[in-house]
């Protein structure tokens, strides 16, 4: 999940200027009028356009409300409407990475029955509202007790028996970007994460891994509120690499490549870890974040040369993971998920710009073919 700063309009030029401006104007009108329900994004649909590019989004979320008022069917229908307009053939849905003390914990089972009504359009991952909760509650106690490990594994196997393509969204480091958005931090080689890697390897499924990389100790930037974020962010790359080495048959999909928050996830770093770890994949999110030097596109909508070299050298290791949030028309109120959903039209527009800027064979691999193979989706 991410938050685009209104003070960093790095990407309102080039091919997407008119579409982004229109989407922002509509969202602003909604806010001023007090209408916080996005109605399945119908208010921002003008930013979508028909495109020859067909693609798969392997990282998306549904916002269906809480308690008796839950409406995940409405969120699924909102997603379907957007997919048809934007050329998205399939979406892999998952619950966001949650912690035990947030209201209305939910996992894949909240939306499973509604997703199963459209088996050719959706797949799903599970664990963001269960496995990740156990992981974060265990915290820095990296040697989880046997009873917890048994409960964790039983839940993981149950998720796969329900038809999940893997586990997600799971996190070892998750920055809090606005009020109500949790800060989460555990060692990336936590014993529960190495156990999850073993389970994923055993069943040949993926782990969708949110990991805000800190390559060396750094003071948190001023825009990150502390608390809940710590004032000092500790280096975490070494532990992540230990997780990757733990089981080479575990397919780890590192989420949100291309929208780095801290300036550490460079193409050089990506190249190094991809070379060292053949079981590592990356899903690309077309949001500029707060470190535009690591975005794949120039302001004019062209692929940056360093990114093009990286993608050409590792054509089978990248997929598209837009981190889109789809809201049921019945949802009222605000919160992080609503804020993130308002940026989904811009993400889709940038994704199309990115894929159209790639050589056709590379666009086909990254936009479609790799996702089919990696997530075992129906073509």
Assign residue 54 the CATH number of its domain.
3.20.20.140
Q: At 66, is the pLDDT very low, low, confident or very high (cuts 50, 70, 90)?
A: confident
Residue 140, pLDDT above cutoff 80:
no
Residue 290, pLDDT above cutoff 70:
no
The region of weakest confidence among 47-51, 84-88, 176-180 is 47-51
The answer to whether position 3 is within a domain reads no
Name the more confident of 180 and 290: 180
Residues with Cβ within 8 Å of 331's Cβ and at least 6 positions away in sequence, in order, are 37, 38, 63, 64, 65, 71, 74, 75, 338
The answer to whether position 160 is within a domain reads yes
DSSP bridge pairs for 303: 297
> What's the whole-number mean pLDDT along residues 56-64?
95
> According to the model, what pLDDT value does residue 165 have?
98
| Mean predicted lDDT score pLDDT of the chain | 85
pLDDT digits over 312-367, tens only? 999 999 999 999 999 998 887 777 778 788 889 999 999 999 999 999 999 999 99
Cα-trace Rg, the chain: 19
> What's the whole-number mean pLDDT along residues 238-265?
95
Burial 255-270 (b: 16+ CB within 10 A, else e): bbbbbbbbbbbbbeeb
- CA dihedral (254, 259, 265, 268) in degrees, to 10, reads 100
The share of the chain scoring above pLDDT 70, in percent, equals 83
Residue 5, pLDDT above cutoff 70:
no
Distance separating alpha carbons of residues 150 and 171, to the nearest angstrom: 20
Sign of the C-alpha dihedral computed for residues 86, 162, 104 and 228 taken in this order = negative
The answer to whether position 8 is within a domain reads no
Distance separating alpha carbons of residues 131 and 155, to the nearest angstrom: 7
Name the more confident of 35 and 170: 170
Name the more confident of 361 and 291: 361
The answer to whether position 311 is within a domain reads yes
Domain of residue 65, residue span? 14-375
List the one residue out of 88, 91, 94 whose CA is nearest residue 122.
91
pLDDT digits over 86-108, tens only? 999 999 999 999 998 777 788 99
Q: At 272, is the pLDDT very low, low, confident or very high (cuts 50, 70, 90)?
A: very high
Phi, psi dihedrals of residue 55, rounded to the nearest 5°: -145, 165
Residue 18, pLDDT above cutoff 80:
no
> According to the model, what pLDDT value does residue 62 have?
94
The answer to whether position 85 is within a domain reads yes
353 CB-side CA count, 13 A: 30
> According to the model, what pLDDT value does residue 341 have?
81
Q: At 176, is the pLDDT very low, low, confident or very high (cuts 50, 70, 90)?
A: very high
> What's the whole-number mean pLDDT along residues 137-161?
90
Q: At 277, is the pLDDT very low, low, confident or very high (cuts 50, 70, 90)?
A: very high
8 A C-beta contact, residue 2 and residue 259: yes
Distance separating alpha carbons of residues 257 and 58, to the nearest angstrom: 13
Name the more confident of 46 and 347: 347
Residue 270, pLDDT above cutoff 70:
yes
Domain count, the chain: 1
Distance separating alpha carbons of residues 371 and 283, to the nearest angstrom: 10
What number of other Cβ atoms are within 10 A of residue 286's Cβ? 25
114 CB-side CA count, 13 A: 20
Q: Of the spans 159-173, 220-234, 252-266, 280-294, which averages the highest pLDDT?
A: 159-173
What number of other Cβ atoms are within 10 A of residue 181's Cβ? 23
Residues in the chain: 379
Distance separating alpha carbons of residues 212 and 116, to the nearest angstrom: 32
The answer to whether position 74 is within a domain reads yes
Residue 41, pLDDT above cutoff 50:
no
Name the more confident of 6 and 258: 258
The answer to whether position 31 is within a domain reads yes
> According to the model, what pLDDT value does residue 210 have?
98
The answer to whether position 7 is within a domain reads no
> What's the whole-number mean pLDDT along residues 236-244?
98
> According to the model, what pLDDT value does residue 280 have?
98
> According to the model, what pLDDT value does residue 300 have?
87
List the one residue out of 28, 30, 33, 118 whose CA is nearest residue 72.
118
> According to the model, what pLDDT value does residue 14 have?
39
CA angle 177, 179, 183 (to 5 degrees): 55
> According to the model, what pLDDT value does residue 16 have?
38
């Amino acid at each position: 999940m991410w938050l685009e700063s209104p003070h960093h309009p790095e990407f309102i030029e080039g091919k997407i200027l008119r579409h982004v401006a229109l989407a922002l104007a509509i969202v602003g009108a909604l806010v001023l009028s007090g209408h916080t329900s996005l109605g399945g994004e119908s208010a921002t649909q003008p930013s979508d356009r028909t495109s020859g590019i067909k693609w798969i989004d392997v990282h998306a979320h549904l916002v269906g409300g809480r308690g008796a008022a839950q409406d995940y069917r409405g969120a699924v229908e909102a997603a379907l409407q957007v997919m048809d307009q934007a050329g998205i053939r399939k979406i892999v849905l998952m619950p966001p990475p949650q912690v035990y003390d947030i209201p209305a914990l939910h996992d894949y089972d909240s939306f499973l029955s509604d997703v199963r009504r459209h088996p050719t359009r959706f797949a799903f991952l599970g664990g963001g509202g269960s496995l990740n909760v156990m992981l974060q509650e265990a915290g820095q106690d990296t040697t989880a007790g046997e009873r917890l490990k048994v409960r964790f594994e039983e839940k993981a196997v149950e998720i796969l028996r329900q038809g999940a393509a893997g586990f997600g969204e799971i996190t070892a480091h998750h920055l809090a970007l606005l009020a109500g958005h949790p800060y989460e931090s555990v060692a990336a080689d936590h014993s529960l994460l190495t156990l999850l890697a073993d389970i994923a390897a055993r069943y040949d499924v993926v782990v969708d891994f949110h990991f805000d990389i800190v390559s060396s100790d750094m003071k948190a930037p001023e825009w990150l509120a502390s608390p809940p974020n710590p004032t000092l962010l500790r280096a975490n790359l070494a532990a992540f690499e230990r997780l990757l080495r733990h089981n080479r048959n575990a397919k780890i999909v590192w989420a949100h490549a291309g929208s780095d928050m801290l300036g550490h996830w460079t193409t050089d770093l990506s190249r190094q870890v991809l070379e060292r770890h053949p079981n590592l994949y990356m899903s690309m999110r077309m949001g500029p974040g707060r470190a535009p030097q690591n975005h794949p596109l120039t302001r004019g909508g062209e692929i940056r040369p360093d990114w093009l070299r990286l993608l050409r050298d590792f054509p089978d290791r990248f997929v598209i993971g837009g981190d889109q949030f789809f809201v049921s028309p019945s949802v009222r109120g605000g919160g992080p998920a609503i804020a993130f959903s308002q940026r989904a039209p811009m993400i889709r527009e940038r994704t199309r710009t990115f894929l159209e800027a790639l050589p056709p064979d590379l666009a086909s691999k990254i936009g479609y073919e790799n996702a089919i193979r990696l997530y075992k989706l129906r073509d």
